[in-house]
Each structure stands twice: as structure tokens, then as C-alpha cells.
Amino acid sequence: MSKIPVTYKRTDLQSDQEVKWCPGCGDYTILASVQNFMAEMGISKEKIVFVSGIGCAARFPYYMNTYGVHSIHGRAPAVATGVSVSNPDLSVWVVSGDGDALSIGGNHLIHALRKNVNIKILMFNNQIYGLTKGQYSPTSEEGKKTKSSPFGSVEMPLNPMSLAIGAEATFVARSIDMDRDLTAGILEEAKNHKGSAFVEIYQNCNVFNDKAFEQLTNKETKVANRINLVHGEKTVFGEDGHKAVVIRNGIAQIVDTKDVDESEIYVHNIHEENPSIAFSLSRLSHGPYGPTPLGVFRKVQRDTFTEEVHDQIDVAKEQKGEGELDKLIRSLGTWEVS
Amino acid sequence: MSTENKTVESIPAITIRFAGDSGDGMQLVGTRFTDTSAVFGNDLATLPAFPAEIRAPQGTIAGVSSFQVQIADFDILTPGDNPDVLVAMNPAALKAHLHDLAPNGMLILNEDAFEEKNITKAGYKVDPRESGELDGYRVFQVPMEKLTKEALEEFDLPGRAVLRSKNMVALGLISWTFNRPLEDTENWINDKFSKLPEIAKANIKALKTGYNFGITVEAFHHTYVVEKAALPAGEYTNINGNIGLSWGLIAAAKKANLDLFYGSYPITPASDILHELSKHKNFNVITFQAEDEIAAAAASVGASFTGKLAVTGTSGPGLALKSETISLALSAELPLVIVNVQRGGPSTGLPTKPEQSDLMFALYGRHGESPLPVVAAKSPSHAFYAAYEASRIALKYMTPVILLSDNYVATGSEPWNLPNTEELNELETNIITKLNTEDGFLPFLRNVDTFARPWALPGTPGLEYRVGGLEKEEGTGNVSYDAANHQYMTDMRAWKVSNIANDIDKLEIHGDESADTLVLGWGSTYGGITQAVNRLNEKGVKVASAHFVHLNPFPDNTLEVISKFKKVIIPELNTGQLLKLVREAFLVDARGINKVSGEPFTAQELTDKIEAIINE
């Protein structure tokens, strides 16, 4: 029996709730990208669950006409793990921010990734705490002056791509709010991926951290700074492809294309099992400054937590038969008193 | 084997305590003796006690592990007060436990362990066997290590493995002393070491050596028989509280026609629930060992959202970590059972000791106005029913429920008269599959009797809804900051919980109803309190007792019960938590009997203290 593909209009995916982000927030663009994508994703909306934590991004589920849980700060990957493993038929999406996912929820993020739970995590990275009105976040650059760091942040920021790859993630990608096509393509790849997907989306907070990603969005600079990672293609970028990425001694480096033999230019392979190159690519920039890779860093196959848990249940039922209470309560041995 | 030329004395009950180094296998010896006695038909109750350290330094007091069992030919409720028999495998075990041994009690020492080094390590200045401090006890010195070595000479085993079997010598000797056949333990050994037949044979040889030592050695001239107990007819199993609780959850899921989800992070003494449930995947049980306590609770909330009977289990410190997540379940009105196997606190406290000090925390340990039902298990077998009851309330009322157990209930065991599982009530849920109004789905449109909201499960077309921790508008469930709505929802959540008082068992009076004094308890003090009241009634002292299973809300007849008595006494293993609640709720001048020594009340201790208060 062939499945009838489900298609919706974008409005079918919109809930009846008024969207309450600040005017001009990058979240609007991402919401539109996700709704457009999901309208044609081919999954009926009752099977879609959005789970979020706390933060501006975390209001996302309220605006989706799907099932949704707006949970507590940092815990969305854990809540989503419970959802996914309880009902493997669901398409489970986590929406999080840099504070939510990397600071208060860092532990849950790395464990969901390592376990390869079948959930798709979209982390909107605006490099600031928005909902609490402008403190530095774990991705804010060193020296960042905010309300809680008037003399500049003294903290080394996290590199979310490096963290995810280090946490054994099987799918790692980065997009940017303004680039709807790139986001749609990554969402499609993530949806088709078996296991956990981690997608960082650079998102402009026009109120507390405006133009944080300008080097990647400004017409003047974006061509020079966007390294588009495309599977099977040579990694060249910049005006007329005059820059290229090569891997030397296992380390990704940016070179002038004219200085290297064409065969030395790195051909991107998202399926490479060994995470070293993907990790090295993630180190080309430590934030959206200068040449920064965008796209899918890594997509490899590994058994998912969700499936394996259910495989064990199936095996147990096959071996022991469906559980019977009467047998269970007698399993430690009994005696009769007459 | 026979006990020729030896006196056999029949006694109604005996309390035996096995004590030794953590590595000496005392828990095993205790459990084996218990199981054999259970199969024989005694009533019994056990109290294991072990250090929090896995292997504390050998020979020290800190490393002593013990197991106490009372066996009786009548219905007993506690593992006994002072042991009549103490088996001490080394000087440290003697030092740690001698003060509890009943006068003229039987003291069996592993004499090979009483070397100078061990004696000093235990903190003795002189050999206790020569200092006179053992006067007044019947001392039997048994060369357990020598016996073991000699018996196992024929086996090709390394020295350490040989010595490990000395616990079997002790078990054999005690089995002889109390006329217990060895077959049951032999079968158990053969089963356990089915892949190591040499080890099995060696252990059985050691077991028989201990037994034969009793027969041959003249010093052991007396054996004892504790006859079968006249327990109510039925089929029994010997059960501890952690297993009882686990099975209660499985049964509840089955009777609710749901699958069970158990999210947990290893913590003493709750871990055995995770271990037990993870064995029963053929009941569609999903166990989730989370990365931390918070994730364990959060994943359980996710499981609840999708329609599982979701349970998260922990002990005291873990409950603190789950607090915020419990508030989410409470606000989202999702069913969730939170198991707290209490231990000594605060902080890491006494991880392997019982205490009832999380009662206030269970009731009030959340931010905001966040009432939830609290249920407590009162004995190992009752843990089954308490888990069933907590699940029933969670599912019927769409609320998180805290289920309190403690280390005493969790690790102690007793015979359980097995229920007819067909007679366990089916459990209601609020699962909804169709729109509940003509205009659409209202996720917070409540049941008019229970005030529960409908439970729409992902996968159900047309009922897509969003829920979270922000305040919700009654009916639509949409986020609402409206003042009147928040007032209404706060009142509604409280009313929903207090309304459960009409739907739970009434508080029952045990003992002399015409008495002036009521002893009120909750949780694991049930056995001690009941036994104490029985003893006092037998002595002619007028006293009654009542025991709470539901701590929030209290049963609706609580005031009526309390009003019948002039004095109310509340024994608790804390500094007076139920005491405060009862004084506040019922305005009675209740008195507490309180203890936080890491040990349960003994029945005698309670008998004396209750009597003293009555006589004031």
C-alpha cells in the first residue's frame, strides 16, 4: 500500500495564536521557513511534536498547529527523548536557543546527541540572552559588553558545531535565518536522517545583539565569508572561488585557490565516519567572524536509541512472551499456606 | 542428617543478626536463611543494613554489613528488636553489634578472625573474648576459616575463593541450629553457579560442613524449632519494598491499558527499582537511565505527554533536582508518579539508612502554589498497593503524585499473600480521541467530577494542542496572563487535589477504639507502631493506632477519627513533620516521638515511649 503524501498549505501549520516576538526578529523568518517546509514534508501534523525549553525561541511550539510542549529551561532534549522513545512514529522537533541548549541544558544536549535519539534539534543562536533582556550567552564573543558584563565578557565562547561533533552527533549542520533555501535544504536532510540531528541557525536579535551575523549577511562581505559546505563538491568560496579549503595533516586550512593543486582542494563528504575532518572544518571559525562554514558538516548512520530500545522490547517479548502479571508476582518462588 | 542426642526446643519467634565485613557475604547468608524460612512457612521480616561504601577498609567498623531477620510462628510486623542470636564474622562486627544482643543471647564468633591485628582494627584495646564483656551471653567460637579450608582442600580453588565460602559454613551452622533443611539453598547454589560446577560443589560442601559442625560439636547441644505461622490461607512470596513497588507499577500500567515508562538516574536506595523494571521489557516497559535526575523527570514528562504511565524514581537529593520538572507536570496537568525512596538527609546524608524526613519536601518542595497528592508505602508488600494507588490517582486526576517509600520498606522483606490479579481494579484514564466541543478541542475543559483535563495524545488527528509551564487559560489552554484566570487556575489546581479526599480509603482505627490515646503514623513505622499497640493492648493498656497511606489529601474522616481521642501521639523518623501537619490541620495538641539515628524504631522502644506518654 503506497502512502498518500500529506501536503498542507503553510497556514495549516499556523496555530491560532498571535506571534509575539519583537518586530524584525530573525525568529519570524525561521518560523516561516519551518512552516513552509513542514507543509510539504509529507508527515501529517498530528504526528509532529515540537518541544522547547525556555527563551525567545522556546515560544516556537505555540505558533505551530501541531502537538507541542513548552517545557522548562534547558530540558527540551530530555523531554523530547521521552516523547520519541515512547512513540517512535512521531516526528519530534526541539527548538532551542544558545542559552537554553548550551548553558543550562548543555548536559541534556550532549546526551541526546550521543544516544542518537530520533529527534531534530534546531538551535537558534543569537549569541545573547534575549528573553532576560540582554546578558552574554555561552556563544557571546570574548569582550562582549552586556548588562551583566559591562567591562566585557571574560569567557571563552563555545563552538556549537565542535561541541556537537565531539558529542558523537550523527547529523550536524549550520544555517542562517536569512537564507531560507539553505534552511529548507538542511531541514529536509535532517528530517530524512535516522537519529538525532543538530542544526545551529544563526539568528539575528535586532534588539539586544543586532548585526551579530552581519559578516555573513551583508552583501559586501557575505561572499567572502560564507564557506558553503556541499556534499561531493570542492570547497571553494569567495569572489570567483578564489579561496579554498584544504586538509593538511588532518587540519582544515583556508588557502588561495591559485596556490594549490586542484586535487588538493577538499571535496566535502558528509558521510565520512571519522569525525576529525568535520571537527576541523568547525574550527575554521569560532563564531560568525571571517570565513565561516555553513551547511551540513556531518551525516552518518548509526542505530538510533529510539529503535534499539524497542528492538530490545520486541526480543524480550519474543523470548519470554507477553508479560503476565500472575507469572510476574510468582517469579521469586512461592509457598502455600492452607 | 540428624540431630541425635541434642535437645530440640520449640520457640515462637527468634531474631537473628548476621554481621561481618562488607565482603563477607552476610546479605547473602541472611537472604538465604530468610527464603528457606519463608518456604518453610514462618512469618518473617528482615532488615538489611550496609555501609554506603562498596568495600570500606576490611576489618573496620565502617565496613561492617549486617542482615537481621525475625522468624516467627505468628503474625509479626517487624524484623525484631534486639537479636537473640548474633553471628559475628570478625571483631569489628562484634564491636558494632554486641550492644544490641539480647541478654543471654547466643553469640557465634568466627574465632579465626580474632587475631590481634583485627582486634586492634576494630578498636578494642584487649581481646573482647578475654575482657569479660561477653559475660552474660552464650558464646560459641567456631573456627570458620579453618573449617572452610579443610573442607575445600579437595577442590582446586585459589585461597581467596576458598575463604569466600566461609559464609556458607556460618549459614550451615545456623541452619542446623534452627532445624532448617539445606535442600533449598543447595538448589539455589546449583542454579546460581550452573556454569561453574566446581564452585557450586565447593559452596555446598562448606554449607554441609557448617551443618555437620553443629551435629558433632558437643558445645552445640541445643537446637530450636520455630513452627509454621498461622498466616491467612493463600499463596505467598517473600518480597522487598523495591520489588513490590516495581511490580505495583507494572500492574497499574497493565490495568490502565497503558505501557509503563520509568525514567531514573542511579541513586541508593532507589536503583533497585530501575534494575527490576529493566528486566521486564516483555511487559512493554521502557526504562530510561537518564544523564541526570532532571532528565529522568523531564523524559518522564515527555512520556506522559505521549500517553505512557510515566514514572520517575529517586531518593531525597534526586527529588530536589526533580522539583522544577514536577512543577511543570503539575502546571501542564499531566499524570506522573514520582517515587522517592527516602534516606537520611540533608544532602548526601546517610544513603543507606532509613529516615522519613522528606514528607514536608514532598508536600511543599516546589515553587509557586503547587499542591499534589502524596502517597506512602507502609511495608514491603504494601509498596505494591501504594504504587498502584499512586498510579490510579495520577491517571484519574491528571496530576503528578509523589509516592514515598524509604530505605526500611525498600530493602526489608516480608511474606506477601499474593492478590488475585483479576480482582485489581481497572484504572481509568482521561484519554480523548474526539473533539470535546462542537467548535474544536479544548485541552483544559475539565471533567465535572474529577476536574481532570482531557489527555490528548500525539498521533490523534484533530486534537493537536500545545501545553507548557506558562499559565493556561481555563478551557482553551492558551497562554494567559489574565489576573482572574490565574486566581481561578491556582484555586482549581488546589481544589482538584483536595477533592481526592473523597476518593481514597478512610482512615481506619486499629486496637482499642475505646482508648483515650491514638498513635498516628505514616509510612514505614507501620510495623513498629502496630506491634507496640498490640503489646500494650495485651498488657491491658488502652491505646489505638491509625496509619496514613495518603498524606495529601488526608482521608475525609481524619478529623472524625482524631476527635475520638484525647491524646494523639505521632512517632516519626524525623523531627516532627507529620506532627506539624496534623497540629496545623486539625488543631490538636499532638505529641511526637521522634528519631533520626538512621535506624528504624524497634517495637519495644515505641511500646515504652507510648506507655510513658500515656502515663504522664
DSSP B575-588: SSHHHHHHHHHH--
pLDDT at B51: 82
Tell me which chain B residues have a C-beta less than 8 angstroms from the C-beta of A337.
41, 228-229, 231-236, 417
Cα Rg of chain B (Å, integer): 27
**Looking at residues A135-150, what average pLDDT do you find?**
96
CB pair distance less than 8 Å for B295 and A17: no
- Give me the residues paired with residue B309 across strands: B260
Burial environment of residue A338 by CB neighbours within 10 A (0 to 12, 13 to 18, 19 or more) = exposed
CB contact under 8 A, B237 and A70: no
Whole-structure pTM over 0.90, yes or no? yes
Q: What separation in angstroms does the CA of A227 have from each of A254, A266, A281, A290, B487? A: 10, 12, 10, 10, 54
Does B254 sit within 8 Å of A309, measured CB to CB?
A: no
Q: How far apart are CA B141 and CA A110, in angstroms?
A: 58
pLDDT of residue A43: 96
Size of interface A-B (CB pairs under 8 A): 205
* Biggest CA pair distance of chain A: 95
Of the candidates B247, B466, B479, the beta carbon closest to that of A328 is on B247
C-alpha separations of B198 from B29, B144, B155, B194, B206 in Å: 20, 20, 7, 9, 12
Give per-residue pLDDT as tens, A268-323: 999 999 999 999 999 999 999 999 999 999 999 999 999 999 999 999 999 999 99
The shortest CB-CB distance from B459 to any of A46, A111, A313 is to: A46
Q: How many angstroms separate the CA atoms of A62 and A59, rounded? A: 6
How close does chain B come to A210, measured CA to CA in Å? 28
- pLDDT for B5 equals 64
Chain B positions touching A333 (Cβ under 8 A) are 35, 39, 237-238
C-beta of residue B24 within 8 angstroms of C-beta of residue B89: yes
- pLDDT band of residue A2 (cuts 50, 70, 90) is very low
Helix, strand, coil percentages for chain A (3-state, nearest 5): 35, 20, 40
Q: Which of B247, B283, B302 sits opposite A329 (nearest CB)?
A: B247
Q: All 3 cell numbers of residue B575? A: 523531627
Q: Are B87 and B168 in contact (CB under 8 A)?
A: no
Query: How confident is the model at residue B3, as a pLDDT?
Result: 47
* Closest CB to B302 among A80, A322, A325: A80
Name the grid cell of B568. 494523639
How confident is the model at residue B1, as a pLDDT? 42
| Phi, psi of B484, rounded to the nearest 5 degrees | -65, -35
**A92 → chain B, closest CA residue:** B458
Q: Are B404 and B551 in contact (CB under 8 A)?
A: yes
- C-alpha span between B121 and B518 (Å, rounded): 47
Q: Which amino acid is at A185?
A: G
pLDDT per residue as tens digits for the range B503-523: 999 999 999 999 999 999 999
Residues A157 and A137: their CA atoms lie apart, in Å, by: 8
For residue B571, say if its preceding peptide bond is cis, omega within 30 degrees of 0.
no
pLDDT tens for B99-143 read 999 999 999 999 999 999 999 999 999 999 999 999 999 999 999
Domains B237-423 and B510-614 are alike in CATH topology: yes
Q: Do A75 and B283 lie within an 8 Å CB cutoff?
A: no
- The amino acid sitting at B470 is L
Could you tell me the residue ranges of all domains in chain B? 7-225, 237-423, 430-503, 510-614
Q: Tell me which chain B residues have a C-beta less than 8 angstroms from the C-beta of A52.
A: 468
A313–B286 CB contact, under 8 Å: yes
- Complex ipTM tops 0.95: yes
Alpha-carbon Rg of chain A, whole angstroms? 22
Give the residue on B whose Cα is nearest the Cα of A19: B479
| Residues of chain B contacting residue A38, judged by C-beta atoms under 8 Å apart | none
Task: Tell which residue, A77, A65, A54, has the closest CA to residue A16.
Answer: A65
Closest residue of chain A to B240, computed from CA coordinates: A332
Cβ neighbours of B41 in A, within 8 Å: 335, 337
Interface test with B, best of A325, A327, A331, A336 (most B CBs within 10 A): A325
Distance, in angstroms, between B263 CA and closest chain A CA? 9
Q: Select from A47, A333, A338 the Cβ nearest to the Cβ of B237.
A: A333
The pLDDT tens digits for B367-409 are 999 999 999 999 999 999 999 999 999 999 999 999 999 999 9
Instruction: Kindly report the nearest CA distance between residue B404 and chain A, in angstroms.
Output: 22
Taking the C-alpha atoms of residue B389 and residue B548, their distance in angstroms, rounded to an integer, is: 13
* CATH of region B7-225: 3.40.920.10
Partner-chain residue, chosen from A17, A61, A72, that has the shortest CB–CB distance to B324: A72
Phi and psi torsions of B41, nearest 5°:
115, 10
Nearest CA in chain A to B424: A325
Closest CA to B377 of B245, B478, B492, B252: B245
CB contact under 8 A, A336 and B261: no
Specify the pLDDT at position B4.
55
Q: How far apart are CA B19 and CA B48, in angstroms?
A: 10
- CA dist., res. A87 & res. A72, Å (int): 21
What pLDDT was estimated at residue A4? Answer: 61
Inspect the interface and report whether the beta carbons of B263 and A82 lie closer than 8 Å: yes
CA distance B301 to chain A (A): 6
Question: Measured between CA atoms, how close is B228 to chain A, in angstroms?
Answer: 9
Whether B301 sits inside 8 A of A312 (CB atoms) is no
Q: Which residues in chain B have Cβ-Cβ distances shorter than 8 Å to A107?
A: 291-292, 295
Looking at the DSSP bridge assignments, the partners of residue A247 are A252
Question: Using an 8 Å Cβ cutoff, are B109 and B264 in contact?
Answer: no
The topology under which CATH files domain B237-423 is: Rossmann fold (3.40.50)
DSSP secondary structure letters along A165-203: HHTT-SEEEEEETT-HHHHHHHHHHHHHSSS-EEEEEE-
Interface probe with B: pick from A44, A113, A335, most Cβ of B within 10 Å = A335
Report how far residue B69's alpha carbon sits from residue B343's, in angstroms, rounded to the nearest whole number.
21
Topology of domain B510-614, CATH: Rossmann fold (3.40.50)
Res A59: pLDDT? 97
Mutate one of B282, B325, B414 to test the A interface: name it (highest A CB count within 10 A). Answer: B282
Query: Helices B241-255 and B271-278: crossing angle, nearest 10°?
Result: 50
> Which of A82, A85, A309 is opposite residue B298, by nearest beta carbon?
A82
A72/B469 touch (CB, cutoff 8 Å), yes or no: yes
CA atoms within 13 A on the CB side of B509: 20
Q: Searching chain A, which residue's CA lies closest to the CA of residue B306? A: A83
A-chain CB neighbours of B301 within 8 Å are: 69, 71, 79, 82
CB contact under 8 A, A335 and B332: no
In this prediction, the residues of chain B whose per-residue pLDDT falls under 50 are 1-3
| Residue in B35, B254, B259 closest to A325 by CB | B254
Sheet (strand A67-70) strand order: A226-229, A292-299, A171-176, A197-202, A119-125, A91-97, A48-52, A67-70, B466-468
Supply the DSSP string of B80-117, one letter for each residue: -SS-SEEEESSHHHHHHHGGGSPTT-EEEEEGGG--HH
With beta carbons less than 8 A apart as the criterion, state whether A241 and A265 touch. no
Chain B residues lying within 8 Å of A78, measured CB to CB: 290-291, 294-295, 298-299, 302
How far does A175 lie from chain B, in Å, by closest CA?
Answer: 27
Q: Are A44 and B292 a contacting pair at CB < 8 A?
A: no
Do residues B248 and B385 touch, judged by C-beta distance below 8 A? yes
Residues B376 and B364: their CA atoms lie apart, in Å, by: 15
> How far A335 CA sits from the closest chain B CA (Å)?
5
Distance separating alpha carbons of residues B168 and B192, to the nearest angstrom: 14
Domains of chain A are 1-212+300-330 (3.40.50.970), 220-291 (no CATH)
DSSP 3-state percent helix, strand, coil across chain B (nearest 5): 40, 20, 40
